Structure 1
Amino acid sequence: MNLITCKNISFVYDGVPAVKDLDFSVEPNDYLCIVGENGAGKSTLVKGLLRLKKPASGTIHMGNGLLAKEIGYLPQQTAVQKDFPASVYEVVLSGCLNRLGLKPFYTKREKELANENLQKMGITKLKNRCYRELSGGQQQRVLLARALCATKKVILLDEPAAGLDPVVTQNLYELIRQINEDMGITIIMVSHDIHAAVQYAKHILHLCHSQLFFGTTEDYRNSEVGSRFIGGVSHA
């Protein structure tokens, strides 16, 4: 059963369609990359998948017992968020908030989970450092560890490599690949980087206010829209 199935969904702001007629699905252990130009509807779709915005039409169905609150989310960082005055451990542990339910405090299990994910992301030595003192690449590892605390199934990443230098970006993409392949966690990533998308993703969803393409990465490479964007420019 698909983790997420979107059927003919559209989103509207003030009566004006932001993105329409989307029809795609996300399988367990999938790696879907959502690409498109600025204003194409990518961020709107992210809000829809997180249940922060209701579709004007169509349906979003989540299978395999997945709940929207169980999607680990790594948002685009603002300058204020990058300057957040908390320890690395506190940021990672906050990914367990949805697990608390009615409990007022983190339990031993949540604290163990935070430490496990710090280790998985290779940032245990940074545990007591202030988040805002870290480099951009280190901050993204912290946020990935936080997202892993929130989910066992799906991580949704919105432009995770924005503002990072090429070497750090490559390392980040490799880390995301490991999360997908070694941990079996489904990845949904919004990106401007078409070339990285076709290198790592299993499926591509290309938006331009509507759905230009959805299918396997190989089919995307061979499609008219794929060959146009891959061959012509490095960013879409």
Structure 2
Amino acid sequence: MKLITCENLTLGYEGKAILSGLNFTVNSGDYLCIVGENGSGKSTLMKTLLHLQSPMAGTITMGDGLKINEIGYLPQQTALQRDFPASVEEIVMSGFLGRMGLRPFYTKAEKKEARELMEKTRITDLADRCYRELSGGQQQRVLLTRALCATRKILLLDEPVSGLDPVATADMYQIISELNKEDHVTIIMISHDIGEVANYASHVLHIGHRLFFGTKEEYMNSKIGKHLVTAGEEAKA
């Protein structure tokens, strides 16, 4: 089932186009990785999908009854956000605010759902801890859980492992993969890690001077995909 269809998108800001002719579809259960050069428009695309800004041209169509408040979002953190003085449980529960309307209190069902999600993301033992005292990896798992409280349909993740150590990075990727495979949460993730794209993605959208959209296998066998893999291997050498 199609969740998001983008046709002939032109993206930009302040009247300047940075990306045009963009076409892709996200189906329920997909794990789409968005890759490309720095400044190619990846974060701009994500903001456009969230309706935080409008495309300069083209259309974005949502299907299967998907509403904008049913899209969970994990942005890149700022230094100020990392120092937020609230408990882990408070931050996780705040993910429900978008669907509460004028209701002032969380329901028993929401509290139960939050506990279940915290168990899934392995942060149950952190519930009473202050958020700003946590490690970077722990903070990212808290914010991922908060995004899940907003929706169980689709998550938009903007470089969710940026700045994390190798162990925390592996944990984060594993949790995201489990959410996709076991809970059928659709994932759209910006990533610079072509190795992890190869491990987890079902589809790849490459944006920049050249555009590509297709399955992971098609991407890895394409000229643009092979070039990026080679560049990544040389960078690690």
The TM-score, its normalising length taken from structure 1, stands at: 0.96
Aligned to 2:56: 56
What residue in structure 1 maps to residue 184 of structure 2? 184
Corresponding residue number in structure 1 for 2:43: 43
Give 2:65's aligned residue. Answer: 65
SS class of match (2:176) = helix
Q: Structure 1 residues 15-24 or 102-111, which shifts more?
A: 102-111
In the alignment, the residues of structure 2 paired with residue 212 and residue 5 of structure 1 have an alpha-carbon distance, to the nearest angstrom, of 16
Match of 2:215 in 1: 216
RMSD of equivalent CA atoms: 1.2
- Distance in 2 between residues matched to 1:20 and 1:47, nearest whole Å: 16
The alignment partner of 1:95 has SS state of helix
Q: How does 1:123-134 map to 2 (within 5 A)?
A: 123-134=123-134
Corresponding residue number in structure 2 for 1:149: 149
Query: Which amino acid in 2 is paired with 1:51?
Result: H
Unaligned runs of 5+ in 1: none
What is the CA-CA distance between 1:102 and the residue it aligns to? Answer: 2.4
**1:78 deviation in Å?**
0.8
- Which residue does the alignment assign to 1:92? 92
Q: Please say if residues 18 and 44 of structure 1, whose CA atoms lie closer than 8 Å, have aligned partners that are also in contact.
A: no
Deviation at 1:3, TM superposition (A): 0.5
Q: For the residues of structure 2 that align with 1:135 and 1:13, how far apart are their CA atoms?
A: 34
Deviation at 1:167, TM superposition (A): 1.8
CA distance in 1 between counterparts of 2:118 and 2:12 reads: 39
Q: 1:153 & 1:69 partners in 2: Cα distance?
A: 11
Please tell me whether the aligned partners of residues 157 and 188 of structure 1 are also in contact (alpha carbons under 8 angstroms).
yes
**Counterpart code for 1:232:** A
Higher mean C-alpha deviation, range 77-86 or range 8-17: 8-17
Q: CA deviation at 1:104?
A: 2.3
Specify the code of the residue in structure 1 equivalent to 2:106.
Y
Aligned residue pairs total 234
For structure 2, the 5+ residue unaligned runs are none
Q: Classify the secondary structure of the residue corresponding to 1:3.
A: strand
Corresponding residue for residue 2 of structure 2: 2
SS state at 1:233 partner = helix
Distance in 1, matches of 2:12 and 2:44, equals: 9
Matches of 1:175 and 1:84, distance apart in 2: 24
Letter of the 2:196 partner, please give it: A
Residues 34 and 204 of structure 1 are in contact (CA less than 8 Å); yes or no, is this contact kept in structure 2?
A: yes
Task: State the 1:119 CA deviation.
Answer: 1.3
